[in-house]
Chains A and B, each alone.
Chain A
Amino acid sequence: MLIHIVISGIATGCIYSLVALGLTLIYKSTEHVNFAQGDMSMVSGFIAFTLFAWLKVPVPLAFFLALVGSLGLGLVMEFLLVKPAIRASHFNVFIITLGASIVMQSASGLIWTHNEFPFPSLFPNKSLVLGPVRTDAGSLGIIFSTSLLMLALFLFFKYSKTGTSLRAVSQSQQAALLMGISVKRCFALTWAISGLVAGIAALLIAPVVFLSTALGFVVVNGFAGAILGGWGSLPGAVVGGVILGVLENIAPFYFPSEIRNIIPFAVLVGVLVIRPSGIMGEERRRRV
């Protein structure tokens, strides 16, 4: 029983990891904090929903198009919101993404209403028995596809030329520019990848919690996970997200069930008070 809870916790945690990953990717290369990451997921989910429920596109094609759409959404965000504010401080960009978040939420509410919609799962809905452990295929599917995505991202950043240039930009924009890397293009690419990750997160989480405009609030869990793992660290984002998911699933087991909503906030405040650099983060010194 406990193992079952832990596994479904890991599955939830994988989704938080994806959100945390999206946040960290943007932060690492541009130092901006994107409050609208969760709402980017929500909009991608609704794009898929519109395609298969209203336009009767076959589900796999709808999912593919939604992922393309989410990639485009990342690019649009970068082009419309972050680029015009190129000289703005991080404080201002944070508020801009906050604005983007409520624009997406209210616009989606106007288009699709605030109701909850069922969302088809990529995985069969049946329980599996693996030796002594009972679990469901959905959780395993989420864990498996998240791991696959992480592996792909890892290989991309580690071995591809583009990935290397993205890492260079996140280390020093000046030096990267001198090496002939287009920093502007790298920023746009980062937002695109982050949008894609948001889209994948949407396709994985929407079948579990239903599709609604409230899906954007997953960004809070993403932040909590990223901070728990160590803000600014990609492996930290993954680990922190998974731990948060497990905690969230186990806590109602021992405490009253109302506590579930408060867990991400409690983790957030706890980590920031006790160890602001998180599990894997390093202390950063800043110049004036």
Chain B
Amino acid sequence: MRRVSFFRWTLILVPCLVLFFMAPLVLSKYLVFILNLLAVYVLVAIGLNFVMGYTGQISTGHAAFLALGAYFTAICATRASSLPFYVLLPMAGCFAGLVGFLLGIPILRLRGFYIAMVTLAFGAVVSEIALQWSSLTHGDDGLRVPSAFLGTFVFDSDKRLFYLIQPVTILLILAARNIVSTRVGRAFLAIRQSETAAQTLGINLSWYKTSAFALSAFYTGVAGALFAYAMTHITPDSFSLSTSIDFIAMIVIGGMGSIFGSIIGAVILTAIQQLLGSLAEVQMLVFGIALIVFMIFMPRGISGALRSWRAAVKARKKQSLENTPKGEGYP
């Protein structure tokens, strides 16, 4: 039975993937760029979800990790131009991850909204450094990012970058799915439910909270590196507080504590950004209202709503099959 369903899934997935990777051949340059940006946001959403959705800590400064990854890549690729992307990407991720780990150490003593405050402070300090340390970051003018290359093949157009960004993203989505269903993922979930209860179950609270931060920072750092390649030019104002809040809106809408929800959220964020591109004000208003409405009426986001809808459908099916009278045997 399992085999059959696995087989059926591959039958659906493989053609989908093939179609997806043929997309740049038919789509316009602009649409391919949007797909690349979408992939970056998916990674950020997954990263943020490790901290907020799974472990239940609020991070209001995630744009800072994106900035760390992006600036690390831009600076290293300029200064050490022989480094290929497959070295730079993990390095950017690990650099952001290390910073996330170090940030996690003071945080692990704190709880609740203090963490939101420290991450807010962190975000502000990083964007201030990016602005002020102009010998390294060129301040307001920003940095040009050299193209990634593999041997003699240079990823110098959006369509070429597609074949760099998308595989990395798919790989990291699969990795995230696996992490979430292991012991580590379950520990994260337990911490969200109740820190004290998790502790009594033998979960090392500080270790898991810190590693959630490090993991989240790693994902966002890699996303930052890809972001740098996709944008080709980075400036400090792409990593402001409002970017961090956009990211929060993204996973609140998509669904906290769900990888699928992260993807939905990223799609919606990208769609709204493209639709209201010139109206930054309206865009913020929409995100703000979405945050409020979703938190009040649909706190588990779209993926949570889909899940409970599917459960309801299944329950109804089962009910009609067994033909039991309504309200009996079902609490």
* Residues on A facing B (Cβ under 8 Å): 33, 81, 84-85, 88, 90-96, 98-103, 105-107, 109-110, 220, 223-224, 227, 231, 258, 261-262, 264-266, 268-269, 272-273, 276, 286-288
Q: Let me know if B117 and A261 touch, CB within 8 A.
A: no
Q: Which of A33, A103, A258, A265 contacts B113 (CB 8 A)?
A: A33
Give bound CA distance, A155 to B288, whole Å.
38
A231 CB contacts on chain B under 8 angstroms: 114
Minimum distance in angstroms from B188 CB to a CB of chain A? 15
B110 lies within 8 A of chain A by Cβ: yes
Q: Which of B121-129, B173-181, B308-316 contacts A (4 or more CB under 8 A)?
A: B121-129
Give bound CA distance, A105 to B285, whole Å.
8
Q: Which of A95, A269, A272 contacts B291 (CB 8 A)?
A: A95
Q: Let me know if A269 and B285 touch, CB within 8 A.
A: no
**29 contacts across the A-B interface (CB closer than 8 A):** A84-B296, A85-B295, A88-B296, A88-B299, A90-B113, A91-B112, A94-B58, A95-B252, A95-B295, A98-B245, A98-B291, A99-B287, A99-B288, A99-B295, A100-B288, A102-B242, A102-B245, A102-B291, A106-B281, A106-B285, A110-B282, A110-B285, A220-B120, A262-B128, A265-B121, A276-B109, A286-B196, A288-B194, A288-B196
* Given A81-B292, A99-B288, also A106-B128 (CB < 8 A): no
CB closest chain-A residue, reference B132: A258
0/1 interface trace, chain B 271-284, chain A, CB 8 Å (1 if under)? 00000000001101
B58 CB contacts on chain A under 8 angstroms: 91, 94-95
A109 CB contacts on chain B under 8 angstroms: 281, 284
Give bound CA distance, A110 to B117, whole Å.
28
* Given A96-B295, A103-B292, also A276-B124 (CB < 8 A): no
Q: Let me know if B118 and A272 touch, CB within 8 A.
A: yes
Give bound CA distance, A269 to B249, whole Å.
25
B73 lies within 8 A of chain A by Cβ: no
B289 CB contacts on chain A under 8 angstroms: 99, 103
Main secondary structure of the interface of B (DSSP, over half): helix
B248 lies within 8 A of chain A by Cβ: yes
**Which residues of chain B in 83-138 are interfacial with respect to chain A, using CB atoms and an 8 Å cutoff?**
106, 109-110, 112-114, 116-118, 120-122, 124-125, 128, 132
Q: Can you list the 7 inter-chain pairs with the closest CB atoms, starting with the nearest?
A: A99-B291, A103-B288, A265-B121, A106-B284, A102-B288, A99-B292, A106-B285
Q: Let me know if A88 and B113 touch, CB within 8 A.
A: no
Given contacts A85-B295, A91-B112, 20 further A-B contacts (CB under 8 A): A84-B296, A88-B295, A88-B296, A88-B299, A94-B116, A95-B248, A99-B288, A99-B290, A101-B288, A102-B291, A110-B285, A220-B124, A223-B117, A262-B124, A262-B128, A269-B118, A273-B109, A287-B196, A288-B196, A288-B197
B249 CB contacts on chain A under 8 angstroms: 99
Give bound CA distance, A107 to B118, whole Å.
27
Q: Let me know if A268 and B292 touch, CB within 8 A.
A: no
Give bound CA distance, A101 to B281, whole Å.
13
Minimum distance in angstroms from A220 CB to a CB of chain B? 7
A266 CB contacts on chain B under 8 angstroms: 121
Q: Which of A84, A107, A272, A288 contacts B117 (CB 8 A)?
A: A272
A88 CB contacts on chain B under 8 angstroms: 295-296, 299
Minimum distance in angstroms from A85 CB to a CB of chain B? 5
Which residue, B121, B125, B248, B282, has most C-beta atoms of chain A within 10 A? Answer: B121
**Which residues of chain B in 235-260 are interfacial with respect to chain A, using CB atoms and an 8 Å cutoff?**
242, 245, 248-249, 252
